[in-house]
Amino acid sequence: MPSRFLPRPSAVVVAALLLGVAGAWAAGPTDEAPYLAENDAAMTKMMGGMTIKPTGDVDADFTAMMIPHHQGAIDMAQAELRYGHNEQLRRIAQEIIVEQQQEIAAMRLALGQALPPSDPAPDQIAPPPAANSSTPMTMPMER
């Protein structure tokens, strides 16, 4: 009696299909190339940072892996802000940056670690160098 079910695909067939999809994705529009390169660099950095040698301290090991994981999410969200066009996704990316930075800070503080100095967001201008004490800081006047 013939079976009404199709045979299950082999792992080789599934892998070939996935590679075909990945190849088509990688061969996408050339204007996406900078985003793909930046995202790939973020993922590579994240995966490398998450590879740790266990210390025997579960809390320290957890944060040592989670902080690069969260930083990877920040880096990927920054790439979306640089190259993405969908306003809803750009807002989500902004929220990811804020939330992941807060979680990194909370993990560092929970272990008594110092927080690194703040960096401006990629779409912000870096603050000017510290002014000479004899030069007062003034705000520009609106006209």
**Which position has the higher pLDDT, 139 or 114?**
114
pLDDT for residue 131 is more than 60: no
**pTM exceeds 0.85:** no
pLDDT > 90 in the chain, percent: 55
**Rounded distance between C-alpha atoms, residue 77 and residue 71, angstroms:** 10
pLDDT for residue 7 is more than 50: no
Measured in whole angstroms, how far is the alpha carbon of residue 12 from the centre of its chain? 32
Radius of gyration (Cα) for the chain, nearest Å?
Answer: 23
**Which position has the higher pLDDT, 11 or 46?**
46
pLDDT for residue 141 is more than 50: no
Predicted confidence (pLDDT) per residue in 22-79, tens digit: 554 555 556 899 999 999 999 999 999 999 999 999 999 999 999 999 999 999 999 9
DSSP state of 30: G
Place of tokens 């609106």: 142
Task: List, in order, residues 6 or more apart from 126 with CB less than 8 Å away.
Answer: 120
pLDDT band of residue 115 (cuts 50, 70, 90) is confident
**Which position has the higher pLDDT, 14 or 111?**
111
